[in-house]
Structure 1
């Protein structure tokens, strides 16, 4: 599961669709509508929010807004708690940098046009995230270690 901390505008079409699907899965987990992925490390930051469903709803709203900007029609009706509240979750600068490099590797492999755009830009966070100093998030390291 990859729930990007990066702004959705940085994602290519494949990445945007995948992020939408992964975030919908995360929403299902947080709403206790599925048994899989319950212990996935990337869910920790949403679970730490005062209202996890509102947090993932705002995240999904941000993805849907970028999809609309591009002319795609994601079904926002699938969002259980659409952006009804302002949500601000922290993300470390180290995490944002890690994801920026990771995205660059993915784009070079599957979307040379996307990689060219990636090379000219700078990382910015998804609208619900506020950057704070720090290295790669603990949940990212936990996910990496579980793959080893």
Structure 2
């Protein structure tokens, strides 16, 4: 399961659909509706929120928004709870790790999307500075730091 910290706009079609489905599974776990993935490390950050179900709902809203912008018809009624959610922190190190991880997937699965993402990051860095990181999911705020403690993927 990969619940991306990156903006869903970076995902290709397959990645966006997988993210939606996997996050719906995570929502079921947080609601106690399934026993699978109960100890999945990526759920740590949602469980740390005041209301984990609202937090995962806010995440799903971001994925739904991107899907709708692309003309996909994801079922919004599958999002159990929505409401006010503070932006969840994500570190620069985590975003960069995920950027590399996604890039590796896209180079084989969707080379055009991989190239578009690289161009977008180059443009961002040209306008804001060489240390700019990829955009985070809309319900997250970027903070300085290394790879998140819950992350199991290895850099490189």
Q: Please indicate the TM-score interval, normalised by the length of the shorter structure.
A: over 0.9
Quote the offset at 1:121 in angstroms: 1.7
* Coordinate RMSD, CA, aligned: 1.0
Superposition TM-score, scaled by structure 2 size: 0.88
Structure 1: gaps (5+ residues): none
CA distance in 2, matches of 1:73, 1:144: 31
The reply on whether 1:54 has 2:54 as its aligned counterpart is yes
Matched residue of 1:130: which SS?
Answer: strand
Find the aligned partners of 1:118 and 1:10 in 2 and give their Cα distance.
6
**Is the CA contact 1:92–1:132 (under 8 Å) kept in the aligned structure 2?**
yes
Name the residue aligned to 2:125: none
Distance (Å, rounded) in 1 between the aligned partners of 2:53 and 2:29: 10
Aligned equivalents of 2:27 and 2:120: distance in 1?
Answer: 30
Structure 1 equivalent of residue 139 of structure 2: 128
Q: Secondary structure at the match of 2:63?
A: helix
Query: 1:37 — aligned with what?
Result: 37
Report the Cα distance in structure 2 between the residues aligned to 1:114 and 1:52, rounded to whole angstroms. Answer: 32
Query: Which residue does the alignment assign to 1:107?
Result: 106
Gaps of 5+ in 2: 122-133
Aligned residue number for residue 96 of structure 1: 95
Task: Give how far 1:86 is off.
Answer: 3.1
Give the corresponding residue for 2:79: 79
Match for residue 118 of structure 2? 119
C-alpha distance in 2, partners of 1:9/1:144? 22
1:119 shift after superposition: 1.4
**Which residue of 2 is the match for residue 137 of structure 1?**
148
Tell me if the contact between 1:5 and 1:125 (Cα under 8 Å) persists in the aligned partners: yes
